[in-house]
Structure 1
Amino acid sequence: MLSKLFGKKETKVTIYSPVDGEIIPLSEVPDPVFSQKMMGDGAAIKPLNGTVVSPIEGKVVQVFPTKHAVGLQTKNGVEILIHIGLETVGMNGEGFEAHVATGDSVKAGDKLITFDPELVKEKAASDIIPIVITNTDQMQSITKNDKQSVRAGQDELLVVEVSK
Structure 2
Amino acid sequence: MGNQPAEYGEHEISESAHTMDVFSVTDGEVITIEEVPDELFSAKMIGDGFAIIPTSDSVYAPVSGKLIEVADAKHAYYIETEEGIKVLIHIGIDTLLLNGEGFKTFVQRNMTVEKGQKLAEFDKQLIEDRGFQPVIPVIILDHPSVASLEIRPDKAVKANDSVALTVHLV
Distance 1:72 1:124 in 2: 28
Match of 1:2 in 2: 2
Q: CA deviation at 1:37?
A: 0.5
Question: Which residue, 94, 104, 110 being the options, matches 2:117?
Answer: 110
Deviates more, 1:46-55 or 1:120-129: 120-129
Distance 1:135 1:124 in 2: 31
Question: Which residue, 79, 89, 97 being the options, matches 1:90?
Answer: 97
Question: Which residue, 8, 24, 32 being the options, matches 2:31?
Answer: 24
Match of 1:81 in 2: 88
Structure 2 unmatched ranges of 5 or more: 5-13
Matched, 1:65 2:72: yes
The letter of the residue matching 1:2 is G
Q: Deviations over 1:36-74 (max 9, x none)?
A: 101100000000011000111111110000001101111
8 Å CA contact retained: 2:64, 2:79: no
Q: CA deviation at 1:3?
A: 5.0
The letter of the residue matching 2:102 is G
Distance 2:163 2:117 in 1: 15
Q: TM-score, normalised by structure 2?
A: 0.88
> 1:2 aligns to what SS in structure 2?
coil
> 2:73 aligns to what SS in structure 1?
coil
Q: CA deviation at 1:162?
A: 2.0
Distance 2:88 2:2 in 1: 33
Distance 2:75 2:105 in 1: 9
Match of 1:145 in 2: 152
Distance 1:133 1:35 in 2: 13
Q: TM-score, normalised by structure 1?
A: 0.91
Identity %: 36
Aligned residues: 159
